[in-house]
Amino acid sequence: MKQILLFQILLIFLITFLNSFQFKFKNENEFDWIQKQILIANDGKVGEIFGYSLDMKANYCVIGSPYSTVGNNSQQGKAYIYENNGTNWDLIQILIANDGKASDYFGTSVSISNDGKFILIGSPYAKVGNNSEQGKAYIFQNNGTNWNQKQILIANDGNTFDNFGLSISISNDDSLILIGSPYSNVGNNIQQGKAYIFQNNGTFWNQYQILIANDGKDYDFFAISVSISNDFALIGAYWADVGNNIQQGKAYIFQNNGTFWNQHQILIANDGGFDDQFGRSVSFSNDSSLILISAPNSNVGENEKQGKAYIFQNNGTFWNQKQILIANDGNTFDQFGLSISISNDSSLILIGSPYAPVFGNNTQGKAYIFQNNGTFWNQIQILIANDGEAGNFFGTNNIDQGKAYIFEPF
């Protein structure tokens, strides 16, 4: 698999738990989160990397396990659905692609619609016809009891090694799907990257438009990360050059004018530098008013690759940089920002720092919660797994079966 997959964030369940929990506050000093439950695949085996991807909405959560073996197919991949019974999270279904093959890595990316009716799962290394690693995405629909495979999405212009499905996002009303194909060539530009919009016609999703950066270059990896909200699509290009800064990174906003999606704005970090990889992860708030973008390779003072995250706020027309988030206890090579999430009401932000050391345990990993005080976001808590060890990357172990952690406010 490509290097980018090896660095895909392997974090924790809490990343999307923020979006479905009702918070109760006394005051900022009394606010606390406690570890509630550890989820482990019932049929898991060494090396399956359960927890590689995750999403949670409408009392359901889905966890990708892209290295899972299915029958005799090694690394075909699976996805696990859990339901909250009011107290704990129970495994209710395992999803497998009907046409899956070895080394598809089904479950590399996952996304659930707001109402829980649809689940979208990326299989970016799936072969399409004679095209190795062109990639696919699978839609599963809930029939009231189970999720059944409804449709396979494939790029109309797909080619070998595009890795379509490496990043995915479903719109708030389920009508639109955004899928990244970051290794796609564009004209003579090698691996510039593309993003595909699929629109629901009432029954199925049809490819509607291909999004391409107006200023794209070789190896930008446009669409390494994607997020769609209302009439806006947010797309990261974390290897894009900015001036003389190689791989500083950019993020692109496309707006729907009612007929087509047009490039609306390019976001660049005001303090960006060489190899920051700004755009590695991107996220819209529910109402599109806020954007969160990570730059996990950013230097902070003398700390190389400590990492940062950037908040952009909409002024009615464009998004302007509002704040830079940095871990108070950050260290060299923490890569703070490899995973990010915004709560539905935009009051909380969660940021993963999977390479952070904990009490001498290298790369055990941490996650940071930031709370909005009405004007800015302040760090209020650091989350650490109770059973964490060196090399866990907080929630997944590259050489083990993998776990997912649930935290609740207390």
- Report the 10 Å Cβ neighbour count for 384: 16
**54 within 8 A of 63, measured Cβ to Cβ:** yes
Q: What is the mean pLDDT of the chain?
A: 87
Residue 102 DSSP symbol: T
pLDDT mean over 107-128? 96
Cα 354 to Cα 186: distance, rounded to the nearest angstrom: 33
DSSP-derived secondary structure for 309-370: EEEEEE-SSSEEEEEEE--TT--TT--TTSEEEE-TTSSEEEEEETT--BTTBTT--EEEEE
Give the confidence band of 404 by pLDDT, cuts at 50, 70, 90: low
Query: What percent of the chain has pLDDT above 70?
Result: 85
Query: What percent of the chain has pLDDT above 90?
Result: 67
pLDDT mean over 281-287? 93
pLDDT mean over 133-154? 97
Which amino acid would we find at residue 197? Answer: I
Per-residue pLDDT reduced to its tens digit, 56-106: 888 898 999 999 999 999 999 999 999 988 888 899 999 999 999 999 999
pLDDT mean over 363-370? 85
Q: Is the pLDDT of residue 8 over 50?
A: no
Cα 123 to Cα 136: distance, rounded to the nearest angstrom: 5
**250 within 8 A of 234, measured Cβ to Cβ:** no
- What is the structure's pLDDT at 259? 95
Q: Is the pLDDT of residue 19 over 50?
A: no
- pLDDT: which is higher, 404 or 335: 335
Q: Is the pLDDT of residue 3 over 70?
A: no
Q: Is the pLDDT of residue 152 over 50?
A: yes
Residue 300 DSSP symbol: B
pLDDT mean over 173-193? 98
- pLDDT: which is higher, 265 or 344: 265
Q: Which residues contact 159 (CB under 8 A, 6 or more apart)?
A: 131, 134, 184, 185
Q: Is the pLDDT of residue 262 over 90?
A: yes
Torsion of CA 55, 57, 60, 66, to 10 degrees: -10
Cα 232 to Cα 402: distance, rounded to the nearest angstrom: 34
Cα 235 to Cα 264: distance, rounded to the nearest angstrom: 12
Q: Is the pLDDT of residue 402 over 90?
A: no
- What is the structure's pLDDT at 116? 92
Q: Which residues contact 307 (CB under 8 A, 6 or more apart)?
A: 294, 295, 296, 297, 298, 300, 327, 330, 334, 335, 336, 337, 338, 353
Domains of the chain with CATH codes: 3-409 (2.130.10.130)
- What is the structure's pLDDT at 34? 67
pLDDT mean over 237-263? 98
pLDDT mean over 285-291? 93
pLDDT mean over 272-276? 98
Cα 178 to Cα 186: distance, rounded to the nearest angstrom: 18
- What is the structure's pLDDT at 291? 97
- What is the structure's pLDDT at 23? 33
pLDDT mean over 243-264? 98
Cα 308 to Cα 379: distance, rounded to the nearest angstrom: 13
Give the confidence band of 384 by pLDDT, cuts at 50, 70, 90: confident
